[in-house]
Amino acid sequence: MLSFKDKVKAWLQIVRVPNLFTIPGDVLVGYLACRGELSGRALPLAITLVISLYVVGLLGNDIADLKEDSNSRPGRPIPRGAISVKEAAFVMLLLSSFALSFSYFSSARTFASVIVLLAAVHYYNFFTRRGTLFSGPVILAVCRILGVMIGVSASGKRISADLIFAGYILCELIHIFSLSMAAAKENGIIGRKLAILVAGGVFLAPFILIAGAFATLAELLPYTGEAPPAFKLGILAWGAAAFFSANAAWKLARPKDGRNHCLPIGMLIRNLILLQASACAFTGNSSVALWLVAAFIASQLSSKFFYQT
């Protein structure tokens, strides 16, 4: 019989605490790109909905991978018996019901986004073969973008045509797709060609975001004469993100002994927060960007105690 402390620790492990810090930023980028400021009461609910669905995905993933984890990761909560399949399934049902119920009374767009996201999560967990190098990563990337779209829905505005928003969407798609391809080979050997392809995607993604930001700045400079302070903060956050991406890309292209356990997948997951922070700063929201930088630090610290993949 587990103690209360051990039970809590098991739940913190299974929900991948460091990864939870990466969720609010997606919603914030979508919300701020369309609304421009933190106003309205729909944003906290939108963030809660996306975090709930993310946890549903994580629990479903561990249930679906029980057989594999029993062999390769027997110390994880479900294989070692710290959390039963029934307990995990009950929490999945509870969180799914919460997301569907509250999104239904929120807006039609939010409800539709939640349904699509929930369907995509379950399809990935229970109908996608593990280790696939295209379909699985594509679904995971789409799931992330759906989180951004829930932020757009919460704003009550139309989807932004802003180049910063478009740059972030494309940046995140490539970033998540690339790191997911690496994660698909987490328990095996990564081929040289695949490693270079993934490294290229990881390295390229931040530059798509900065291209959109500078294109927007070029349109503003004739009117403002200089870059706004928030934009300068965005450059700093982006520079940190680009550094970590470049470092990860180098390690991906030159893995030790060709083994994926040397690949910086966890760092790439956390690095998404810095990309979110830079996108929010580029839209003129310094305070949100600073909060996301704090979230990155919290994610980094918690990664010392909890696994991420």
Predicted confidence at residue 261, as pLDDT, reads 43
* pLDDT per residue as tens digits for the range 265-300: 889 999 999 999 999 999 889 999 999 999 999 999
Predicted confidence at residue 260, as pLDDT, reads 46
What's the pLDDT band for 187 if we cut at 50, 70, 90? low
The mean pLDDT value for 156-177 works out to 90
The mean pLDDT value for 170-184 works out to 91
pLDDT at 194 over 90: no
Predicted confidence at residue 185, as pLDDT, reads 67
For the chain, give the percent of residues with pLDDT over 70: 94
* pLDDT per residue as tens digits for the range 87-116: 999 999 999 999 999 999 888 999 999 999
* pLDDT per residue as tens digits for the range 135-146: 889 999 999 999
The position carrying tokens 């200089």 is 226
Predicted confidence at residue 189, as pLDDT, reads 61
* pLDDT per residue as tens digits for the range 56-89: 999 999 999 988 888 888 899 999 999 999 999 9
* pLDDT per residue as tens digits for the range 113-131: 999 999 999 999 998 876 6
What residue spans define the domains of the chain?
17-302
Predicted confidence at residue 159, as pLDDT, reads 80
Residue 307: DSSP 8-state: -
pLDDT at 7 over 80: yes
Helices 108-127 and 135-155 pack at an angle, to 10 degrees, of 160
Quick one: tokens of 117? 């996201």
Predicted confidence at residue 263, as pLDDT, reads 58
Predicted confidence at residue 14, as pLDDT, reads 95
Q: How far is CA 123 from the centre of its chain?
A: 18
**Cα–Cα distance between 295 and 17 in angstroms, integer?**
11
**Cα–Cα distance between 82 and 269 in angstroms, integer?**
26
Measured CA distances, 203 to 145, 244, 287 (Å): 19, 9, 27
Quick one: tokens of 179? 């790191």
Name the more confident of 22 and 192: 22
* pLDDT per residue as tens digits for the range 224-264: 777 788 899 999 999 999 999 999 888 887 766 555 444 58
3: exposed, middle or buried (Cβ count in 10 Å: 0-12, 13-18, 19+):
exposed
The mean pLDDT value for 200-226 works out to 88
Predicted confidence at residue 132, as pLDDT, reads 73
Q: φ, ψ for residue 259 (rounded to 5)?
A: -95, 135
pLDDT at 164 over 60: yes
Say how many CA atoms lie within 13 Å of 10 toward its Cβ: 19
Mean pLDDT of the chain: 89
Predicted confidence at residue 160, as pLDDT, reads 77
The position carrying tokens 């003129």 is 284
